[in-house]
Amino acid sequence: MSSLSMRPCGDFRTSYKQDNTIFETSTIRWITIISIIALCFAPLVVDGYFITLLIQISYLGIAALGLNILVGFTGQISLGHGAFFGFGAFASAWLNISFEIPVFLSIPLAGFFTMGVGMIFGMPAARIKGLYLAIATLAAQFIIQDFFARAEWFSGGSAGSMAESLNLFGFVFNTDKSFYYVALFSLVFMFIWGCNLMRSRDGRAFIAVRDHYLSAEIMGVNLNKYRLLSFGISSFYAGIGGALYAHYLGYVSAEGFTIFMSIQFLAMIIIGGLGSIKGTLMGVIFMVLLPEVLASIVGLMKMTDWGNIPMVVDGLSYIKEMAIGLAIIAFLIFEPEGLAHRWTQIKNYWKFYPFAY
Amino acid sequence: MAESILKVEKISLAFGGVKALTDVSFEVEKGSIFSIIGPNGAGKTSMLNCISGRYQPNSGDIYFNQKNVTNLRPNDRADLGMGRTFQNLALFGHMTVLDNIMVGRHHLLKNNWLTGPIYWASNAQKEELEHRRHVEDVIDFLEISPIRKSIAGTLSYGLRKRVELARAIALKPDLILLDEPMAGMNLEEKEDMARYILDLNEAYGITVIMIEHDMSVVMDISHKVMVLDFGKKLITGLPDEVMADPHVKRAYLGIEDDEIDAQEAS
């Protein structure tokens, strides 16, 4: 019902096409388009550090959307998303180095490779659910991590693997500012892809499997196929995100893709809102900016007399990690439906202002 | 006799030592309304689950449109044109009513996870809009247009039952299985539902198999009635014949044995 009440008066829909749009109203669509255009000009205005944060939001956002399709929309669970992210990163570098496939092709190819791996590890999902599935995917996390350490032909072992910069028609995206456009384009592309997926046949089937798998099957949805496909698509996103990460840094090493990263992806989608595409992005932004905001607060405190507490100033890195845990707990207690839900609440409050509800 | 759409041959189903169904056979004519009645625990829902594929019978065969479907999965049976509703509501709670009904058209849609997301470049958008039209027909038919954008989980019981029926009709079935479509409804809602069942049978030509406890509804709208008791078939026949049968009275309508003996004696 909330979607109905949020429509301004006079905004009538006269065709089914208008009723099937991604954005609720044309205003929201215009705001989104204008923000994307504004983001295109960001490198001219803001300094380099912000650009690195935006790039980070882009590749993490793509991977987190994949996890949200799996967890939020299909109702499965995965504790191996960080490993799939890493697999995409190594796969793209490997394809590029070993087969000399140009980077702009190796990134999507890495996505499809990761999709294959994800579907292999997603096979238990056809039979088991909930906590048991979580443990099965945890196995995926450790198996893939072990594979990174041992398969030197693939990952370069403990030395890691070099990844070339993206080269498109002779233009090399090797600086932060140029790669920013690649990241932004990928983010927008993959999010539109996700939105369209969720409003077409297979996306609906995913939600049907989540909400009531028995009746989904009776309605003609092949349960095993869709559970597996969901793992595939989720890993595909993780692979794309990982590949972008690899070609952005130029160097991939196995240390980063641990269980902690998988948990971080889960935290992003829980904070953002399970089963919400815009929530995914909100969650990622929150998680990326949280340490930065903390750092700047501590930086400001350091300049005052009362705030220059050695424990806080020196222990910043611990505080950052604790803050992530605290944020997850706080969201689980106070806003389990995530930032996306809170956003809707605020919007409703604003619209109906003198009337509270 | 008209062509049969569903033929059940000697179905037996046991859960461990409990025999839910024993050698049940029946045929359903194309275009008829067929009711299954019986006391609680008689195996009515088990029968429906065997037909729709939730359960695999231990022995026996089920033919749907002359095709043996005994070993097919439920989703394959949906492809063949078999829809059903559940006794306990089984809507997709977080979806809108419209999306719920759109899921019913799943097997008729052709786009997949690769063509769907390139919405405008493939025919996904065209397909969505085309099928939306069919869905709107069903929505009009069941008079649920005011709630089409509501979240299914927030609706009242009677409306949810109706949405569930809409979802099953959207499947474009030849045969629809209704598990207690009127349970827990008041008289007015029951009358509406009976009207919808008759209409979908007559206007869409869908064969209906229905489980229902409200005897007046069963007797009024069904063409044939089957009575189950302890997993065995007692009788299949016209509603009046079934009502008059002494075994049915004993099993279901609650007349004591000696009364029946007295009736038979007189």
Label each residue of chain B as H, E or C.
CCCEEEEEEEEEEEECCEEEEEEEEEEEECCCEEEEECCCCCCHHHHHHHHHCCCCCCEEEEEECCEECCCCCHHHHHHHCEEECCCCCCCCCCCEHHHHHHHHCHHHCCCCCCCCCCCCCCCHHHHHHHHHHHHHHHHHHCCCHHHCCCEHHHCCHHHHHHHHHHHHHHCCCCEEEEECCCCCCCHHHHHHHHHHHHHHHHHCCCEEEEECCCHHHHHHHCCEEEEEECCEEEEEECHHHHHHCHHHHHHHHCCCHHHHHHHHHC
Between B119 and A87, the more confident residue is: A87
Over residues A157-162, the mean pLDDT reads 82
Chain B, nearest residue to A190 by Cα? B117
Closest-CA residue to B208 (of B222, B220, B195):
B222
Q: What angle do CA A65, A69, A73 make, to 5 degrees?
A: 135
Residue A308 has pLDDT above 80, yes or no: no
What per-residue confidence (pLDDT) applies to A2? 41
Q: Please report residues of B whose CB lies closer than 8 A to that of A203.
A: 116
Q: What angle do CA A239, A241, A242 make, to 5 degrees?
A: 65
Chain B, nearest residue to A18 by Cα? B129
Contact A202 B124 (CB under 8 A): no
Q: Please report residues of A whose CB lies closer than 8 A to that of B96.
A: 3
Q: What angle do CA A215, B134, B182 make, to 5 degrees?
A: 45
Contact B73 A222 (CB under 8 A): yes
pLDDT above 90 coverage of chain A, percent: 56
What per-residue confidence (pLDDT) applies to A112? 95
Collapsing DSSP to helix, strand or coil, A273 comes out as coil
CA distance B26 to chain A (A): 22
Q: Are strands B224-229 and B82-84 parallel, antiparallel or unpaired?
A: unpaired
Contact A199 B74 (CB under 8 A): no
Over residues B146-167, the mean pLDDT reads 91
Pick from A113-122, A135-144, A320-329: least confident: A320-329
Which domains does chain B show, CATH number per domain?
1-81+173-266 (3.40.50.300), 91-172 (no CATH)
What per-residue confidence (pLDDT) applies to A120? 93
Domain residue extents for chain A: 27-259
* Alpha-carbon gap, residue B228 to B235, rounded angstroms: 8
- Helix (H) or strand (E) holding A130, with range, is helix A130-150
Task: Give B65-86 pLDDT, tens digit per residue.
Answer: 999 999 999 999 999 999 999 9
Q: Please report residues of B whose CB lies closer than 8 A to that of A205.
A: 103, 106
What per-residue confidence (pLDDT) applies to B39? 86
CA distance B260 to chain A (A): 42
* Alpha-carbon gap, residue A107 to A57, rounded angstroms: 18
Token pair for A123: 């096979």
What per-residue confidence (pLDDT) applies to B260? 62
Q: Please report residues of B whose CB lies closer than 8 A to that of A192.
A: 117
The CA–CA distances, whole Å, from A204 to B1, B85, B94, B99 equal 42, 19, 11, 7
Whole-model pTM: value is 0.90
B202: confidence class by pLDDT, cuts 50, 70, 90? very high
* Alpha-carbon gap, residue B129 to B120, rounded angstroms: 12
Contact B54 A214 (CB under 8 A): yes
* Alpha-carbon gap, residue A303 to B168, rounded angstroms: 67
Task: Give A188-238 pLDDT, tens digit per residue.
Answer: 999 999 999 999 999 999 999 999 999 999 999 999 999 999 999 999 999
- Which amino acid belongs to residue B36? I
Task: Give A335-353 pLDDT, tens digit per residue.
Answer: 888 999 999 888 888 887 8
CA distance B257 to chain A (A): 41
Please give the span between the terminal C-alpha atoms of chain B, in angstroms, as a whole number: 35
What per-residue confidence (pLDDT) applies to B256? 64
* Alpha-carbon gap, residue A12 to A4, rounded angstroms: 11
Chain B, nearest residue to A222 by Cα? B75
Q: Please report residues of B whose CB lies closer than 8 A to that of A194.
A: 117
Longest CA pairwise span in chain B (Å): 79
**DSSP code per residue over A277-330:** HHHHHHHHHHHHHHHHHHHHHHHHHHHSSSS--HHHHHTHHHHHHHHHHHHHHH
Contact B149 A1 (CB under 8 A): yes
Residue B24 has pLDDT above 50, yes or no: yes
Over residues A123-141, the mean pLDDT reads 89
Residue A356 has pLDDT above 80, yes or no: no
The mean predicted confidence, pLDDT, of chain B is: 89
Contact A221 B103 (CB under 8 A): yes
What per-residue confidence (pLDDT) applies to A196? 93
Question: Are B25 and B10 a contacting pair, CB within 8 Å?
Answer: yes
What per-residue confidence (pLDDT) applies to A4? 47
Chain B, nearest residue to A221 by Cα? B75
Question: Which residue, among B73, B91, B94, B106, would best test binding to A if mutated, counting the most A CBs under 10 Å from its CB?
Answer: B106
Question: Are B14 and B20 a contacting pair, CB within 8 Å?
Answer: yes
* Alpha-carbon gap, residue A299 to A318, rounded angstroms: 15
Please give the span between the terminal C-alpha atoms of chain A, in angstroms, as a whole number: 13
Place of tokens 């803050």: A323
Closest-CA residue to A117 (of A40, A227, A278, A232):
A232
Chain A, nearest residue to B90 by Cα? A215
- Give all strands of the β-sheet with B59-64 in edge-to-edge order: B18-29, B4-15, B59-64, B67-68
Over residues B205-226, the mean pLDDT reads 91
Which residues 104-163 of chain B have a CB within 8 Å of chain A? 104, 106-107, 109-113, 116-119, 124-125, 128-129, 132-133, 136, 149-151, 154
Give φ, ψ of A214 to 5 degrees: -65, -45
Question: Are A60 and A117 a contacting pair, CB within 8 Å?
Answer: no
* Residue A313 C-alpha from the chain's centroid: 31
Which residues 165-204 of chain B have a CB within 8 Å of chain A? 167, 171
Chain A, nearest residue to B86 by Cα? A215
- Which amino acid belongs to residue A124? P
Chain A, nearest residue to B149 by Cα? A1
* Alpha-carbon gap, residue B157 to B89, rounded angstroms: 8
Question: Which residue, among B73, B92, B107, would best test binding to A if mutated, counting the most A CBs under 10 Å from its CB?
Answer: B92
CA distance A331 to chain B (A): 21
A1: confidence class by pLDDT, cuts 50, 70, 90? very low
The mean predicted confidence, pLDDT, of chain A is: 89
pLDDT above 70 coverage of chain A, percent: 97
Q: Please report residues of B whose CB lies closer than 8 A to that of A19.
A: 132
Contact B75 A220 (CB under 8 A): yes
The dihedral over CA atoms of A337, A342, A348, A349, expressed in degrees to the nearest 10, equals 130
What per-residue confidence (pLDDT) applies to A3? 46
Give φ, ψ of A47 to 5 degrees: -85, 170
What per-residue confidence (pLDDT) applies to A117? 95
pLDDT above 90 coverage of chain B, percent: 57
